[in-house]
Amino acid sequence: MAVSDDELMQMAQEELAAACALPLSDILKITPWGDSFMGFAPSGREVEVERRYLWAQAPQGDVSVEVEVRDPVARTGAEAQRTLSR
């Protein structure tokens, strides 16, 4: 059984909140950067989570924080994004 679209979106939003909880000064030190890891949805299904910290504008400008949560079996996913201003 696949992870529901609602569950994927909820996870993406929760992971985005965690990704944005870092102090902006720390985020600026690691931008551009990204990673991915395997985790578990609340339903117990395995999902892949990818976080990206990218320049939203020219380097040293605003930072785009993006999180994507994917169900590798069903090949579906959800993405959440927020731009952090300096």
At residue 47, the pLDDT reads 96
Give the pTM.
0.90
* Model confidence at 49: pLDDT above 80: yes
Q: Could you give the CA distance from residue 45 to residue 67 in angstroms, rounded to a whole number?
A: 18
Rg of the chain's alpha carbons, rounded to an integer? Answer: 14
**What's the whole-number mean pLDDT along residues 47-73?**
92
Q: Could you give the CA distance from residue 57 to residue 68 in angstroms, rounded to a whole number?
A: 21
* Model confidence at 79: pLDDT above 90: yes
